[in-house]
Amino acid sequence: MPARSTAAAETFVPEDTAAALAEVSSFLDTHQARHGERPMSRLLLIGDGEGDQVELPEPVYRVLVRAVEALSQGKGITIAPQEPQLTSQQAADLLGVSRPTVIRLIDSGDLHAERIDSRRRLALGEVLAYRERRRAKQYATLEATAVDFHDENDPSEMLELARDARKRAALS
């Protein structure tokens, strides 16, 4: 079996499988007539081994229905995986910052966004990667500025140590 590619769009065209498609289409039509758009009973994908089966999740069922419908009509179908897109406000909510802060991050190049008309769209993966980079930097800064305080230490001496640690962290 060839390796599956999840990144690229792929188009499928109808082939000489009209009889098989008609049988699948008839099954799906009958099932939809009984249960509507949403499968109420279990639909299984069955392999060649005993116990080799898996239940189809609802989104896969909906894709199957649309694909069989199009192929049965002699149309090609294209499956084009897409990463979820966020608005700048959704990205701000996810990052725990304000929307203007997200706009500044986009303008500075720290976050990538696509412009669609006057709106910006950010890839969910990009926002999550930025969040992880930011957390790693925050943890590194906390570690670099950590100073052991003891009850017997002079508070002014400890304050000076903390200031020095913050300065070193800011320079790195």
Within a domain: 3: no
Spacing of C-alpha 103 from chain mean position = 21
Alpha-carbon gap, residue 172 to 21, rounded angstroms: 63
Arithmetic mean of pLDDT, 28-54: 77
Arithmetic mean of pLDDT, 78-94: 91
What integer pLDDT is reported at residue 40 of this predicted model? 58
pLDDT above 90 as % of the chain: 28
* Crossing angle (nearest 10°) for helices 155-171 and 124-144: 140
Q: Determine the structural domain holding residue 153 and report its residue range.
A: 85-171
> Is pLDDT at 1 greater than 50 in this prediction?
no
What integer pLDDT is reported at residue 41 of this predicted model? 66
What integer pLDDT is reported at residue 161 of this predicted model? 75
The pTM (predicted TM-score) of the whole model is 0.52
Arithmetic mean of pLDDT, 143-168: 74
Q: Does residue 126 share a domain with residue 72?
A: no
Q: Does residue 100 share a domain with residue 137?
A: yes
Q: Does residue 93 share a domain with residue 40?
A: no
User: Whole-number mean pLDDT of the chain?
Assistant: 83
What integer pLDDT is reported at residue 38 of this predicted model? 62
pLDDT above 70 as % of the chain: 86
Arithmetic mean of pLDDT, 61-79: 87
Q: Does residue 96 share a domain with residue 65?
A: no
Within a domain: 130: yes
Arithmetic mean of pLDDT, 36-47: 72
Q: Does residue 37 share a domain with residue 14?
A: yes
Alpha-carbon gap, residue 159 to 162, rounded angstroms: 5
Q: Does residue 120 share a domain with residue 102?
A: yes
Question: 116-122 — which CB contacts under 8 Å span 24+ positions?
Answer: 119/87, 119/88, 120/87, 120/88, 121/85, 121/86, 121/87, 122/85, 122/86, 122/87, 122/88, 122/91
Quote the number of domains for the chain.
Answer: 2
